[in-house]
Amino acid sequence: LQVPQWFLKTTSLKEQVLKRADEIKWYPEFMKIRLQDWTNSLAWDWVLSRQRIFATPVPVWECEKCGHAVCATEEMCYCDPTEDKPPVEKCPECGGELIGCTDVFDTWMDSSGSALYNTFWERDPELFKKMFPMSMRPQSHDIIRTWAFYSILRSEQLEQSKPWDDVMIHGFIMAPDGTPMHSSIGNVIDPIPILENYGADALRYYAATCSLGIDHAFREKDVIRGKKLSIKVFNIGQFVSRFIKDVPKTCDSLRTADKWIISKFSKVVKAVTEYLDVYQFDKAMKEVEGFIWHEFADNYVEMVKARSDDAVRYTLYNVFLGCIKMLAIFQPHITEDVYQEHFKAIDGNKSIHLTAWPEPIFIDEDAEVEGDALSKVLAEIRAWKSERKIPLNAELSMIEFVGAEAKLLETSKADISETTKAKEVIIAPEADLTEEVVAIKPLHKVLGPAFKAEAKAIVAAVAAMDVADAAKMLQAGAIEVEIDGNKISVGAEYFETEKRLMLDGKAVETIQVGNILVLVEL
C-alpha cells in the first residue's frame, strides 16, 4: 500500500554530517567508520512521517483543493494540526480550506533533538550557551545510523555545530551462549533474581568488565566475582576502622612498605583516571580491583596487622579512602556503606559520591622495587607456613635472606619480623650451608626380593647404626652389616636418604623467591 509521505532532504547534507562527525571523538574510534559508511551509502532522503496514532504530530495543514502545505510557525510548537487552528485561515495559494495533517513524526525526529532539548535550546539562551554542545552521548552500536546520524544532522542544521564532544558506543549483553536474547526463544536473563542473589553492585561490576563497542555474553561468574569484591571491601573497611579515629596528619616516618603501597596507589589513580577519561571502564575496573584485592588486601594489610604507628594509620586512611572513591563509580552501594560507617564522621562529606576524586600522593620507584621484594618474600613465607600447617602467628627462631638482591630487604627487617613472627632476621650476601643426612630408609621393594629372609635383619641392623656412620658408608658405596656372624654388604641402591640443610649447626628449611634464598629456622 503506497501512502504519500513527508521527507527531509538529507542526501545533499552528507558532507556536512561527515565534517561534524570528524569533530567528535568516537569511543571506540572505529565506530566512526560505521557512521561514515552509512552516510556515504545514503541514496534517498529521510522519510519523516508515519501513519500511527501515538507520536509527535507533523505540524502541517494541507489545502483541500490544491494540496499546498502550510507549516506551523515557530511560536506554535508543539501543536496538533488535527485540533489546533492553522496560522492562516485559508490557503494562501488558492483560498481553499486547510485540513490538519494526521501523520506523526518518525521517532528519530524527537530523539535527534535530545542534545538540543537537554541543553535548554530556545528556552534558556544563557544556559544553552554554557551547556551546548553536550559533553558525551552514550548509545549502542545498532543506532549509529539513526540516533547518532540524525542528531548530528539536526544540530548542524539548527546550530551549525556538533551535538556533543564525545560519543561512547557500547554493545549488547547477549545470552550466555553468545546469541541475542529473545523472549520468543526463552533465553532472556531475568535481572531480578540476579539482583536478589548478588546485589546491584555485583551486576554493575559485571557491566563494567564489558569492553566498549562489542557485544558480550552474560557471565554469571563475573557477577559472583563482583559480589566477592564487595565482601572484600567490606571486610577491609572493618580492619581499617581499627586504625582511623581521626584524619591522620602527613607522616615523615613512613616505612618501606608504606611508601611501596602509596606509590603503587598513586600509579593506579593515574591509570584509572586516564582510562576513565576515554571511557575504558573495563580497564579502569581491572586496575582498581587488582590493586584492592592483591597489593592492598593480600599484601599490605597482611604486613601491617601488628602495627599501630602513625605511618600505618596515615597510609591505611589515605590509600583505602582513595580506593573506595575509585570503586564508587562501579560499586556505589558498598562503597557508600563503608564511607558512612568508617569515614563520614572524620572526612566530613555527606556521601562518598560528593567527595573529590583522589589524587596521586607520590611515586617512589626505589620504594616500589624494595616493596615488591618484600611483598614476594612475605607471601612465600605465608604460603610455606600454610603448606606445613604452621599457624601464621607461630613464632620462628630465625629467618635469613641470602643473595645479592637480599639487600633490598635491609630497610624492612621490622616488617618482616612483625609479619612472620621471626625472633631474628638476617640479611646476608651468602651463607655457609652444609647438608646432613638425618635418616636412612630401606627401599623394601628392592631390598626384600634381593636379600629375602635376611632383609628384615638388615633393616634392623641399619636402624641400630649411627646415622652419620651409615651415611659415610653409603657415600663409599655400601653399608656393611653383620647377620648371624656373616658380614653382608648392602649397596646404596637399596636405600634412600633424608637430608637437611644446616646453618651454623642448626637445621634450616629453604624457600626460593626469585634470586633470594630464604632460610628458615623453626
pLDDT tens per residue, range 95-118: 999 999 999 999 999 999 999 999
Contact 5, 46 (CB under 8 A): no
Predicted local distance difference test score (pLDDT) of residue 371:
96
* CA-wise closest residue to 263 among 237, 294, 233, 295: 295
Residues 6+ apart with CB under 8 A from 12: none
Q: How confident is the model at residue 437 (pLDDT cuts 50, 70, 90)?
A: confident
Residue 428's DSSP bridge partners are: 402
Q: How confident is the model over 23-35, as a mean pLDDT?
A: 97
Percent of the chain with pLDDT over 70: 100
Predicted local distance difference test score (pLDDT) of residue 245:
86
Contact 260, 371 (CB under 8 A): yes
Q: How confident is the model over 415-421, as a mean pLDDT?
A: 94
The three-class DSSP label of residue 163 is coil
Helical (H) or strand (E) element with 427: strand 425-428
Q: How confident is the model over 368-393, as a mean pLDDT?
A: 94
**CATH number corresponding to 366-432+506-521:** 3.30.2320
Instruction: For residue range 271-301, list pLDDT tens digits in order.
Output: 999 999 999 999 999 999 999 999 999 999 9
Residue 220's DSSP bridge partners are: none
Q: Tell me the C-alpha distance between 144 and 32, whole Å.
A: 9
Instruction: For residue range 159-197, list pLDDT tens digits in order.
Output: 999 999 999 999 999 999 999 999 999 999 999 999 999
Q: Tell me the C-alpha distance between 45 and 106, whole Å.
A: 13
Q: How confident is the model over 13-30, as a mean pLDDT?
A: 97
**Range of lowest pLDDT (365-374, 398-407, 428-437):** 428-437
Contact 272, 238 (CB under 8 A): no
Residue 505 scores a pLDDT above 80? no
Contact 121, 80 (CB under 8 A): no
CATH architecture assignment, domain 433-503: 2-Layer Sandwich (3.30)
Dihedral (Cα; 308, 313, 314, 316), 10-degree rounding: 130
| CB-neighbour burial class of residue 150 (10 A; exposed 0-12, middle 13-18, buried 19+) | buried
Q: How far apart, in Å, are the Cα atoms of 215 and each of 111, 151, 166, 204, 235?
A: 24, 24, 20, 16, 34
Contact 488, 455 (CB under 8 A): no
Instruction: For residue range 295-314, list pLDDT tens digits in order.
Output: 999 999 999 999 999 999 99
Predicted local distance difference test score (pLDDT) of residue 77:
79
Contact 62, 6 (CB under 8 A): no
Q: Tell me the C-alpha distance between 108 and 48, whole Å.
A: 9
**CATH number corresponding to 220-363:** 1.10.730.10
The more confidently predicted of residues 471 and 316 is: 316
Predicted local distance difference test score (pLDDT) of residue 1:
64
Q: How confident is the model at residue 506 (pLDDT cuts 50, 70, 90)?
A: confident
Q: Tell me the C-alpha distance between 194 and 190, whole Å.
A: 7
Q: How confident is the model over 470-484, as a mean pLDDT?
A: 88
Percent of the chain with pLDDT over 90: 82
If one counts every other C-beta atom within 10 angstroms of the C-beta of residue 290, the result is 12
Q: How confident is the model at residue 411 (pLDDT cuts 50, 70, 90)?
A: very high
Length of the chain: 522
Residue 363 scores a pLDDT above 80? yes
Q: How confident is the model at residue 501 (pLDDT cuts 50, 70, 90)?
A: confident
Domain ranges for the chain, please list them: 7-58+103-164, 220-363, 366-432+506-521, 433-503
SS3 of 60-120: EEEECCCCCEEECCHHHCCCCCCCCCCCCCECCCCCCEEEECCCEECHHHHHCCHHHHCCC
Q: Tell me the C-alpha distance between 98 and 179, whole Å.
A: 52
